[in-house]
Structure 1
Amino acid sequence: MATAPTQLSRSTGEAVEYRGDAPKGARWWREIGWRHIVGVVTIIYCALPLLYVLSAALNPGGTLTGSNDLFKTISLENFQRLFETDFGYWAVNSLVICTVTAIGTVLMGGAAAYAFSRFRFRGRHASLTTLLLIQMFPQMLAVVAIFLVLLSLKDVFPILGVNSQIGLIMVYLGGALGVNTFLMYGFFNTVPREIDEAAKIDGASHAQIFWTIILRLVAPILAVVGLLSFVGTYGEFIIAKTVLQSTEKLTLAVGLYQWASDERNAPWGQFAAGAVLSAIPVILLFLFLQKYIVSGLTAGSVKG
């Protein structure tokens, strides 16, 4: 009588019966099939709003109720009208503000994380704890104080006051410094100190070690921090609405809100078209940096 094939268990080392056939019937539905159903339902739940917005953008009627029949009418009229407005200025403003904020956040957070990771000074642990506690309170809680500070700065430094894009960038940089520093700090600790010591023996300074060696080794976390900073500021509304006032200086989030503020007379077709085009930079950025996202978010948790 033939016996079932056996194999060694990885955990105990004992011989166990090997089942080469995949589960079938009720067992397959109990172990695997329900996961497929959950996945399909989740995809439909996430994709339906996106399809509805795309259908509204392609509907020349300009109403949301007229878009209930998905893709019944397809036209690029809303996209043509979009560029007859200030949408182009808003897109450029958002890209410039978010790009500068992302680059500044990476450089400032990286320098601070390098100092906390490599130097030993009095108050180091207390400073890290303070940064962590400060991040428990969202930046929008201080929106009134931010407005008053920028209003006072406008009389002394107009370039940093209210209705200034540079002032808005400075606010974003200050709000994101703490959490990004703490995130980078764990990743910087995974880089062996022997690399720094070897570079010092060769005569390299701390600046040379930081710019030429460390930043290259921690590229995944830099990409993740830059991505999170870009996406966070790209869709930020409350602070941008408070700081920026001139129409030509608005970001996409604030500019599109002006169209949707009047629900009865809002150009919903143009609004949907603007929302579709606004999502393209974020999607491209995710596709370009996707290989860094998983490693950048998980490697820093190995050694804190």
Structure 2
Amino acid sequence: MHRPSPSSARAPFDSAIQTLATERKGLETLEQAFSGPLGEAFVQAVNRIAGSSSRLVVTGIGKSGHIARKIQATLASTGTPSLFLHPAEAAHGDLGMIAPGDVILAFSNSGETTELAAVLTYATRQKHCVIAITSVATSALARAAQIPLVLPTSTEACPMGLAPTTSTLLQLALGDALAIALLEKRGFTARDFGAFHPGGLLGARLRPISDLMHTGNALPLGQGSLPLRSVILEMTHKSFGCMGVIDDKGVLQGLITDADLRRAISGDLDTTRAEDIMNPAPVTASADTLAQDVLQLMNQRERPITSLFIVDDARHPAGIVHIHDLLRSGLS
């Protein structure tokens, strides 16, 4: 049986290390380029896109097209209205997807992609702003763009220098940087992100707790003067394993849990009052707290909380959430 020599067995490992080293050097060169014209053009691009009341039309073909699709998806999910336009389809009617005022973001490593010609001609005729991401400052794409983002010269990781590797990585990194800069400029929040990602674990984490909490008559509440016998009845009826203690104005004053009841059950059920056994400083959250943060709040203690009251600014109970509500929503 043929056994590979130690050197041949190690070859894939060495190849991977070389690829990563080459691409890392490319990223370092890109970062350094931001201290020059690329950085200035980048700021212009961010301001131009953020200042537009219309959409960002992202286009590219081949490997650059794949990168463009990913960046467009990232932009859309982080608050920049955008769409992907296939340049070949654009020449066959899809130019109609470009609306007045749209800004065009075009990806092409060489900047000489013939399929982009129809898009660039149309953009010039209709006076659309074109932002280009390319590696060649003298290319047709760079010349047609109002804001050319010219990537620094880099070495492809492919040993033949043919397969787009480092060049597409730099396009991806610059596109991501653009999306994040726009996110920050728009003041895009986790709540906004959650609105665009309602599905799966991410959607569950980013839901406000107000979407999950129980309200109204479901809340286990009673005043501090309530005898222990009535506290037991209220807790049993509402099935949250706790009862919130409120004053005459409905302000939350404390919390009684099953554990508090067990410690007090040997006392007189009619003379012992809710206020005698309550915890006067219960953990609470506001209605706009994200579900993932509530789960963390409930689990971060030595003895995890199973139910938590949601209160308004005046500490009036607005709802209650049980740990099972969070788990059923998809959080884990």
Q: TM-score range by the shorter chain?
A: under 0.3
Q: TM-score, normalised by structure 2?
A: 0.23
**TM-score normalised by L of structure 1:** 0.25
Asked which structure has the greater RCO (Cα within 8 Å, sep 6+), the reply is 1
- Based on CA coordinates, which of the two structures has the bigger radius of gyration? 2
